[in-house]
Amino acid sequence: MEKLLNLTLKVWRQDGPKAKGAFETYKLNGISPDSSFLEMMDILNDQLINEHKDPIAFDHDCREGICGTCSMYINGHPHGPDSGITTCQLHMRSFKDGETITVEPWRSAAFPIIKDLMVDRSAFDKIIQAGGYISVNTGGIPDGNAIPISKWHADEAMDAASCIGCGACVATCKNGSAMLFVAAKVSQLSLLPQGKIEASQRAKKMLSKMDELGFGNCTNTGACEAECPKNISITHIARLNREFIGAKFID
């Protein structure tokens, strides 16, 4: 029989964007190490509901590491202590019996808290709206095989495109920079012939939107790469910078 875990949870509670938040402490017993972190949170919420208390608000949806919705800062790490995974993929076997676990929301000027562990990441959408696309309309498109793309380029673009837009990179960055997120998109599209045409302008537009929305500057600490659940590499930042310099030349 697997050994069940008894835990203490310190969870950030905050009623709304302007409210003052604070940590609340909860005891939770009999958690299976096979349950996921979010299932543990479900059990905690069930306990709170049974006590007629307000359950903890948190974002989640796919629960398999792909939608980028879940976003908890656990024991000082976005998405928890394990590397290469999202909060929803974290399992309780990563914790010890009797452990105290601290759970906080993403903290960044550009991601205001909505409630408890839930933050507003619409700034990411706004960055994409500023230029994170290839300007083509539906229809009238040449055959998919008309332009061959080397496997290396396709794979490299795919690596960059794996970004799930979770915001862990921002949450972990001491400057609150969205550089890795922006770089992933710029890099993906500039690696492909279809996206190359607008590459410099794209970089410029997205970066200026990023600045405008209150994200900080990148000082190459590399913390983002270390905490990114999809292992997006900071080499993409280098590619972004090249495109950005290109934009300056054009201007």
Binding site for ligand FES (CB under 6 A): 60-63, 65-70, 86-88
Cα separation, 69 vs 51, in Å, equals 28
- Comparing CA positions, the residue from 106, 58, 61, 56 lying closest to residue 79 is 106
Q: Which residues inside 171-200 make contact with ligand SF4, applying CB under 6 A? A: 180-181, 184
43 binds, among ligand SF4, ligand FES, another protein, none (CB under 5 to 8 A by kind): another protein
Smallest gap from Cβ 172 to ligand FES, in A, equals: 16
> Judging by DSSP bridges, how do beta strands 118-119 and 73-74 pair with one another?
unpaired
Smallest gap from Cβ 184 to ligand SF4, in A, equals: 5
H-type alpha helices, 22-61: 37-50
Q: Which is nearer to ligand FES, 67 or 149 (CB)?
A: 67
Q: Is 26 helix (H, G, I), strand (E, B) or coil?
A: strand
Cα separation, 42 vs 28, in Å, equals 11
> Judging by DSSP bridges, how do beta strands 100-104 and 5-13 pair with one another?
parallel
Q: Which is nearer to ligand SF4, 160 or 247 (CB)?
A: 160
The token pair at 111 is 């991601």
Is residue 115 within the footprint of another protein (CB under 8 A)?
yes
Q: Which is nearer to another protein, 165 or 176 (CB)?
A: 165
Q: Could you say which of 157, 168, 173, 228 contacts another protein (CB under 8 A)?
A: 157
Q: Which is nearer to ligand FES, 80 or 195 (CB)?
A: 80
Cα separation, 164 vs 78, in Å, equals 14
Using CB under 6 A as the criterion, what x/- string covers residues 157-176 for binding ligand SF4? ------xxxxxxx-------
Smallest gap from Cβ 104 to ligand FES, in A, equals: 17
Radius of gyration of the chain (CA): 20
Cα separation, 8 vs 99, in Å, equals 6
Contacts to ligand SF4 by CB under 6 A: 163-169, 180-181, 184, 228-230, 232
